[in-house]
Amino acid sequence: MDMTDRGRLKQHLISWATASPLAGPPGAGVGTLVLADAAHIPAVTAAGLVGPRTLLLAPDDGTGGPASAVGYQGSLTEPGDEFSNGQDFFLQTHAYAASPFMTVFGPTVVRVFDQNDFEAFLADADRALTEGVFPEFLITSSVLLADPAALSGAHDPVDGPALRLYADRDGQVSTSPTGAVLGTVDDSLDTLTERFARTGPGAAALDAVLPAETRADALRSRPFLARYLEAVTALRSLMARGVTGLRVSGFGSRLTPELAAAGAAADLADPTLPIVLYGDEDAYVVAGSRLFAVDRRAARALECLLATSGEVGDLVPADEVDQLAELFARHALSLPVPVRVPAAAR
């Protein structure tokens, strides 16, 4: 089977596991299509699922296989197994509940395979919220959590059959190996996309292993989950840069004690807002894909702004709000919420 570029393979596997967008313009066919059986290659090709941009992955039995697919050994769908492209790239798959006890040797995808995994995920999120303690394995720079939007209830406009598909050994097709069946390898992309729209992205990612009502109830009672996973991503990004030992504002602590005392937490339900992280002396802001260091005074001003939806009262002097706005402007950003400072503070 054809030898693909390592960087392209890595990008497609990340997209396939997490539903993150692929670089470049959309095109015909599925972005990443993983087959559990190479015998389905003719069917998915005839159905129009394979296009110019498609990375098609199929098991390699050692015979070379069809030139249209990238061969792999191992598995991307079994807990404890390892995927290999037959060259120099390896990817482990771990079940969430077992991950704290597993050794990470390299790139690893952590999945929720059953209700036990889901309950362990929720327990970790609850602990992060109340104690500020994040699971070490999850913030390791080489680890990715599969299907984060389905686990948090976040809106994901990118996910769908045009981005990623998995076909099991029986030819049943889903967007995720743990998701609801959308059709078969003989179905067209339009048909699968229509069924995906009716099923919903969360169900399409997890309904094969987790009752829909169980997931819905958990997400409804934890509106902070999407923010939690954004915080995990921010911590992982900083760890990749060698920065560790940070706390996340709103998760177990605040830089500004008055916020915690007042129970201000408007930011916890909005994953799109910037995230403030801080250590004993340093502080950082993550805003979307941007990450920059700030002084602790700016970090306090920002967390007050976020936690109170701009109703900072006398927590932040007007000149500090102005300085924060100037800081954001230097980074080509605007303040994320309108600020209301009492006249007496000006």
Question: Which of residues 83 and 60 earns the better pLDDT score?
Answer: 83
In a domain, 233, yes or no: no
Question: Which of residues 264 and 11 earns the better pLDDT score?
Answer: 11
In a domain, 240, yes or no: no
Cα radius of gyration (the chain): 22
pLDDT at position 3 over 50: no
Residues 190 and 304 both lie in one domain: no
Residues 202 and 321 both lie in one domain: no
| Domain hosting residue 25, numbered range | 6-220
Residues 284 and 181 both lie in one domain: no
pLDDT for 62 equals 61
Chain centroid, CA 193 distance in Å = 22
In a domain, 198, yes or no: yes
Residues 116 and 61 both lie in one domain: yes
Residues 301 and 190 both lie in one domain: no
Please name which of 10, 272, 289, 32 lies closest in space to residue 152, comparing C-alpha atoms.
272
Report pLDDT digits (tens) over 209-239.
999 999 999 999 999 999 999 999 999 999 9
Band (pLDDT 50/70/90 cuts) for residue 314 is confident
pLDDT for 104 equals 85
21: its two tokens: 């967008």
Instruction: Provide the percentage of residues in the chain whose pLDDT is more than 70.
Output: 95
Question: Which of residues 88 and 92 earns the better pLDDT score?
Answer: 92
| Burial class of 67 by CB neighbour count within 10 A (0 to 12, 13 to 18, 19+) | exposed
Residues 252 and 190 both lie in one domain: no
Band (pLDDT 50/70/90 cuts) for residue 2 is very low
Mean pLDDT of the chain: 92
- Quickly list H helices, the chain: 6-18, 41-46, 115-131, 148-152, 189-199, 201-206, 212-220, 225-240, 257-262, 296-307, 318-330
Band (pLDDT 50/70/90 cuts) for residue 38 is very high
pLDDT at position 27 over 90: no
User: Is 0.85 surpassed by the pTM of this model?
Assistant: yes
**What is the maximum alpha-carbon separation in the chain?**
78
pLDDT for 232 equals 98
13: its two tokens: 């596997």
CB burial of 179-209 (b: ≥16 within 10 Å; e: otherwise) equals bbebbbbebebebbeebbeebebbbbbbbbb
Residues 181 and 66 both lie in one domain: yes
Report pLDDT digits (tens) over 45-73.
999 999 999 999 999 866 555 567 899 99
Report pLDDT digits (tens) over 254-294.
999 888 888 889 999 999 999 999 999 999 999 988 999 99
In a domain, 126, yes or no: yes
pLDDT for 66 equals 59
In a domain, 25, yes or no: yes
In a domain, 149, yes or no: yes
| Burial class of 241 by CB neighbour count within 10 A (0 to 12, 13 to 18, 19+) | exposed
User: Could you give the number of structural domains in the chain?
Assistant: 2
Residues 142 and 262 both lie in one domain: no
In a domain, 235, yes or no: no
Residues 213 and 260 both lie in one domain: no
Mean pLDDT of 76-92: 91
Residues 20 and 169 both lie in one domain: yes
Where among 187, 220, 253 does a domain terminate? 220
Residues 45 and 99 both lie in one domain: yes
Residues 209 and 252 both lie in one domain: no
In a domain, 194, yes or no: yes
Where among 185, 205, 220 does a domain terminate? 220
